[in-house]
């Protein structure tokens, strides 16, 4: 599998070239274009998991904010191309897992090779008003994985500690310990401070962040759009 990322840092497109009969797994809705002989298989779980295992995987992924179903693209009979793009304007980066684990903000996952196992993981810290909290996808195994950002991607090597607004987290290595809590600690600063959930990282490892926060942008647009009926 060859993955080329073009048109960054604003409108990144991932161009995946699959070898004959090779597969790539992606988030539903991310496909932009593909060669016609590439077959899509929509499934809830991995091939060897069986019906119940597949159902559980699908449900967990739904909780993680990903769709229930995953798409597997297979270049049938000969090599083929599939391209992927996310909703938000911004950059993309690829990472090679070598029997290692990466934790990815669920909305940032684009695609991965079949050697990468994907599981949802609750990041902790339910907000005062309910809502999503902070949801992660745990990607472990070996192979390529592509993630996207809203805005630019900044790679930060942590050795010690670092605090980040959760809406800006794209991905981080499992070697980092993390703790999610309300920024500022008290209710007053949570409600009026303008910040939401933060994640305290400690240890040694790589963290990728995005320079824009989707929830803040959504609120920014939403406040200027006409009201809806429901």
Q: Which residues bind another protein (CB under 8 A)?
A: 6-7, 10-13, 28-29, 31-42, 67-69, 71, 83, 85, 87-89, 214, 218-219, 221-223, 225-230
Q: How far, in Å, are 42, 71, 136, 199 from residue 181 at the CA level?
A: 36, 34, 15, 6
Please identify, using beta-carbon distances, which residue of 160 and 226 lies nearer to another protein: 226
Shortest reach from residue 62's CB to another protein, in Å: 12
Q: Which is nearer to another protein, 63 or 141 (CB)?
A: 63
Count the alpha carbons within 13 Å of 114 in the hemisphere toward its beta carbon. Answer: 14
How is residue 86 written in tokens? Answer: 């996310």
Per the CB < 8 A criterion, the answer to whether 12 and 91 are in contact is yes
Tell me how far, at minimum, the Cβ of 39 lies from another protein, in Å: 8
Least separation in angstroms between residue 94's CB and another protein is: 16
Distance CA 151, CA 216 (A): 13
Task: Give which of 91, 129, 98, 136 is closest to 116, Cα–Cα.
Answer: 98
Q: In terms of CB distance, is 187 or 220 closer to another protein?
A: 220
Partner residues linked to 102 by β-bridges? 139, 173
CB 83 within 8 A of CB 35: no
Would you say 120 or 176 has its CB closer to another protein?
A: 120
Nearer to another protein, 150 or 201 (CB): 150
Least distance from C-beta 182 to another protein, angstroms? Answer: 21
CB of 147 vs another protein, minimal distance in Å: 16
């Amino acid at each position: 599998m060859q993955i080329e990322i073009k048109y960054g840092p604003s409108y990144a497109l991932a161009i995946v070239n699959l070898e004959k009969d090779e597969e790539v797994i992606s988030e539903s809705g991310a496909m932009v274009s593909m060669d016609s002989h590439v077959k899509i298989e929509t499934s809830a779980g991995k091939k060897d998991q069986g019906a119940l295992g597949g159902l559980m995987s699908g449900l967990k992924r739904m909780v993680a904010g990903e769709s229930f179903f995953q798409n597997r693209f297979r270049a049938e009979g000969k090599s083929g191309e599939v391209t992927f793009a996310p909703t938000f304007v911004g950059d993309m980066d690829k990472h090679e897992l070598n029997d290692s684990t990466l934790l990815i903000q669920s909305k940032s996952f684009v695609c991965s090779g079949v050697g990468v196992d994907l599981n949802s993981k609750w990041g902790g810290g339910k907000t005062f008003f309910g809502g999503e909290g902070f949801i992660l996808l745990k990607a472990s195994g070996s192979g390529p994985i592509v993630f996207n950002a809203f805005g630019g991607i900044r790679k930060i090597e942590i050795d010690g500690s670092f605090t980040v607004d959760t809406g800006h987290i794209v991905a981080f290595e499992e070697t980092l310990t993390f703790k999610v809590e309300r920024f500022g600690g008290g209710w007053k600063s949570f409600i009026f401070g303008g910040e939401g959930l933060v994640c305290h990282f400690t240890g040694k490892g790589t963290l990728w962040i995005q320079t824009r926060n989707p929830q803040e942008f959504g609120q920014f647009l939403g406040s200027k759009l006409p009201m809806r009926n429901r």
